[in-house]
Amino acid sequence: MDMQKIGLLGFGTMGAGIAQLIAQSGRDVLVLETAQERIDAGMVFLADFLSGGVARGKITEADSETIKGRVHGVLEVEDLAGVELVIEAVTENPAAKKSLLSKVSSVVGADVPILTNTSALSVTDLATSVENPGRFAGLHFFNPAPLMKIVEIVRALETDDGLVETLVSFVESIGKEPIVVKDRPGFLVNWLLMPYLNDVIQAYDEGLATAEDIDVAVRLGLGHKQGPLELLDLIGLDVHHHATTSAYGATLDPTFAPPPLLRQLVAAGHLGNKNGKGFRTGGKVTE
């Protein structure tokens, strides 16, 4: 892969993780944000994650400094002129994504690949916002991006075959395992995961077992590395609610419909690990 200058839209949790991955591969990253404060916060998150890697002996302090030195924040879309590939990782709001993607498309040129990290929205729909939608696809990283091995390459309706081949090589070059999937709600992993997690929430709500025992049962009985309610707290209850709501709206498949307890928890501000209120966190609901 000879693309050495990558544009990244958004410097939140996912954006910071993706920036680290790309910088670790020896590439420069220009991260677009709306305010300097958000760039600073992203750099703090990136630095903290790298410090953890240094403490665990995964990377050296020199490696950490080199990686941070390859990541540069910018505040204007025009600053992305000259990048060779763009990855969008902003809020899961279709109107906001489309508006930004349209502006970026006109700045970077008609042949530069533009990718979205959306986990719930239609890649084909987002592709309508860019010039030459054949150069648009999904590149779905999982959280935390530096640690999760898999990346879904999502083929939209008009995605060029050559772009898919390029993305397979790109994902491999940053040390991840690519899988190519169709543009469907949840793509592949979340298509399988969402109904399962909904069933777990319903089982908990009906009192089949405590949250702790449900997680123990799945870890020891099914061989999963992590219990489903622990996973929900990590993902974010609001994130799962948004994803299931979107998938249900697109398919009307009742297995995707968010369970009543999930809707109640999110409405009450129980978001999981991010605010300490979830199924297995310090502010958990009830056992």
How far apart (Å, rounded) are the C-alpha atoms in residues 222 and 216? 10
Strands 136-141 and 150-155: antiparallel
How far apart (Å, rounded) are the C-alpha atoms in residues 92 and 239? 9
Our answer to whether residue 273 is catalytic in this structure is no
Residues near 249 by beta carbon (within 8 Å), at least 6 away in sequence: none
Residue 265, SS3 per DSSP: helix
Q: Identify the active-site residue in 119, 122, 129, 198.
A: 119
Residue located via tokens 């693309």: 3
Report the length, in residues, of the chain: 287
Q: Identify the active-site residue in 105, 129, 190, 198.
A: 190
- 115-152 in b/e form (b: 16+ CB < 10 A) is bbbbbbbbbbbbbebbeebbbbbbbbbbeebbeeeebb
Q: Identify the active-site residue in 33, 117, 140, 240.
A: 140
Our answer to whether residue 190 is catalytic in this structure is yes
Our answer to whether residue 242 is catalytic in this structure is no
Our answer to whether residue 152 is catalytic in this structure is yes
Q: Identify the active-site residue in 64, 152, 230, 240.
A: 152
For residue 30, what are the β-bridge partners? 7, 72
For residue 141, what are the β-bridge partners? 151
User: Active-site positions?
Assistant: 119, 140, 152, 190
